[in-house]
Structure 1
Amino acid sequence: MEWGLIMGVELFLQELLNGRDYRGQAVAVRCLPARKAVYAEPERPLPPELTAALAEMGIKQLYSHQARAVDLIRDGQNVVIVTSTASGKTLCYNLPVLESLLADPSTKALYLFPTKALAQDQLQGLNRWKTLIPSLPLVAGTYDGDTPRDLRRRLRDEGNVILTNPDMLHAAILPHHPNWGKFFANLKFIVLDEIHTYRGIFGSNVANVLRRLKRVCRHYQANPQFICCSATIANPVELAEALTGQKMALVDNDGSPKGKKHFVLWNPPLLPDGLQRRSANAEAKDLMVRLLRQRIQTIAFTRARVVAELIYRYVREELSRFGSGLANSIRAYRGGYLPEERRAIERQLFSGELLGVSCTNALELGIDIGTLDACLIVGFPGTIASVWQQAGRAGRHNEDSLVILIGHNNPIDQYLMQHPQYFFEQTPENAIIDPDNPYIVLGHLRAAAFELPLRVDEERDFGPTAPALLDILAEDRQVVYRGDRWFW
């Protein structure tokens, strides 16, 4: 069942701010202008099979950033693509990979995603290509903790596009690289999606996993290209180069269209004691009920799983007063659900069967749920980049959208509410990693020595402290030096 829109978001906002129960919560309202699409053609036309499949998907032209990415990747360059949410970044790497598969069926590609859910979503997209192009020599699959043993063996032996995550690469693929010899020998592309999530300790570990991956690739005489994708951050090239150790070409000429976006900072009213404010969760519940009653498809982001469930329960109870159909049009979404449940919710959102979802940041990343009409962000999520990533979930191409950031009664949220100009003028933060942190490198040197004897001339690949760290491991009898190599 699809729901027909009763009123647009601009009219909804006008009614909200002029309503009888409005208590001055909107401390700032900004209208971000619409943007028209910018199209371009690659320097060399795509193969006819891909062009026909794109037409079947309703894509007649590529956006400017997609064409630019295809040209750079065809030229053999490592690239980092930085464009807005739902701008079609996936095509930037799928098109060159599929083109290479059509030209050479022995081509292999490794797709790394920060979450299993995102890998599953991208697999569905790849399988659609196989449906549209039956002759495409594509054998793709997710290789993670949910993959059955027999399917793992088949993917290892026959797969040419493997979708996995850094943990699985670290624990299940690199230590057993002899079983993956054929795959690594023909590995041409390594895709890193959502690299803005690889920051801090996590990102530093991922950078060292990639150092080990490149070393294994060299062992099999492979030199794959890196294709990185990121949401808007301040230092995408710096981050991509620190993660991969490769020189990167930047693609940031976003050609995707955007509708007008109304952005509201919403501060819950003070309670009679003048000290506390009304709960942000209660404000979110009221706003979401009003939005869903007007059939405005809405996503609400919360900071915790329990809050996502509570808002879902409160909204559902309130909507039940207006009929069971409306009450059944909302779901919660968070980590901890079974994969089948998550897939079902994603499908219902994409098809328009669901009007609303209350979720954690599990839906912040690029899982394809379509684009919605309104987004509620319950509490500042910690970074400006996350705010804009979540806000990007609202907005259907050229249509208006509404984003409401609801402040908690804590110092950071209240500072933003009292200084809206500061918020709107801030650029997204830098993503910082330190791959040479000795406490992190130590464990990866152990893993690297287990995977392949570590030559002296490879020590510096793991940073300036690696030689001293190997001496420490040798003193502890964890590695042994023979000839010019360190053995586990």
Structure 2
Amino acid sequence: IVNPPVVNPQLGIRSSALLTGQRIAERLIRDGVQTIAFARSRTAVEILTTYLRESIPAPPGHPSPIHGYRGGYLPNERRAIEAGLRDGRIRGVVATNALELGIDIGGLDAAISVGYPGTIASTWQQMGRSGRRAGTSVSVMVASSAPIDQFLATHPDYFFDRSPEHGRINPDNLHLLLDHLKASAFELPVPAAERFGLDETPMLLDVLEEDGFLRRAGDDRYYWSQENFPASAFSLRSAAQENVVIIDETGDRPRVIGEVDLFAAPMLVHEQAIYIHAGRQFHVDRLDWDERKAYVRAVDVDYYTDADLGVTLKVLDAFEEQHGTDGALRAHGEVMVAWHATLFKKIKLHTHENVGWGPITLPEQQMHTTGAWIVPPASVVERFDRETLDGALIGLARVARSAAALLLMCDARDVGVLAQAQAPHTLRPTLFLYDAVPGGVGLAERLHQLNAELITACARMVGDCECPDGCPSCVGPIAEVGVRGKGACLELLASLAA
């Protein structure tokens, strides 16, 4: 585990995990070591690929020995990269978890995870991509400044001594249940009286018939009525089944170069975005949201774009509420989460400085899921002015996401977090944690049950950090949480633990 050094002790800022990973990968590839580097996002994959291609240029007349690999590439692109890794023509590949398992890419000599992959299971899978042949191999995890990464860097026994996570699923999740019924009907006709574990199954079969997926025959059974294999439309990593197709209009004839899932499209292919594909930059000229098509053209610029997301949450039903003294509350129930991309920033390559911005105007997306929420005692909240309270809530939300992931042994991206100074449901400062999956899979309910452990883990993460007033490794930088943000966050946590 490599923890980049602190470069600004006053602000607690560490050297970039991405640039540290680049230096390690560059050294290995130059020394003839076939290397795979994993990054946490599609944008990070493309940026790291760009940096490595610049530092290790292709020989004259030959293709680059460095390639990116992620979801959204066309199948023929992915197969060519996999073949190049097996036969040794490709010396370095930068990938998302799309290359983590299930794909034969031969035996590599080095694996680098830029940032904690999110789960212990994913980390072992990524590390296991190296060392499949006789001889020396190396696996490296480069810690980012995120609280969960810093916790693992300073408590490595948590990683090395813990077993991998258990898969968590809610079989009653409507989205998953409908997909199961589709797959079942493809294998064998489903009797109309089939319960499939739920009394509502006959109604769901009727819905699938109305939508054209099933056909009810005279023998009172439902038959699969589509030509396509249903499982081909299911994702192991996302509940979104719609994609936006990316069309390159640079040449004489438009051509499809990739796709992106509907949830991520507002962040990656909004108008004026710089979409990076296989190390090449494309400017998004137009996004046809209704037709699910993004039209791009090749450009050569010295920046990339990064979008900000605005999130709102509405409580639909409280399943359980536990009231404490002085207005304290913890509860869980059904929530509706809405989000939309609000603006994009232009980030200069290499220096990562902000060189511009622009608005994003796209429809809001919504998701029904399950959530848990926590309200601190009124007497503690009254100690802070609004600016200090906002900073404390920002810090609490930041550290709660990492603490929740450690407690549940899940990816931090599986849990959504939102802090509101005056939540519409409670009219009080409230911390919400919700399943980042349509319908929910039980994460928020479990956090509700583990409330005391969650608060203790948050307090430990914040209290163990050596910074005086806040930094990216705990509650966030002072510029975001304010000078009193860290102390106020600890006061909130102490009141919630009482």
TM-score > 0.5, shorter chain as reference: no
Tell me the TM-score range normalised by the shorter chain. 0.3 to 0.5
> Counting helix residues as a fraction of each chain, which structure ranks higher?
1
What TM-score results when the alignment is normalised by the length of structure 2? 0.39
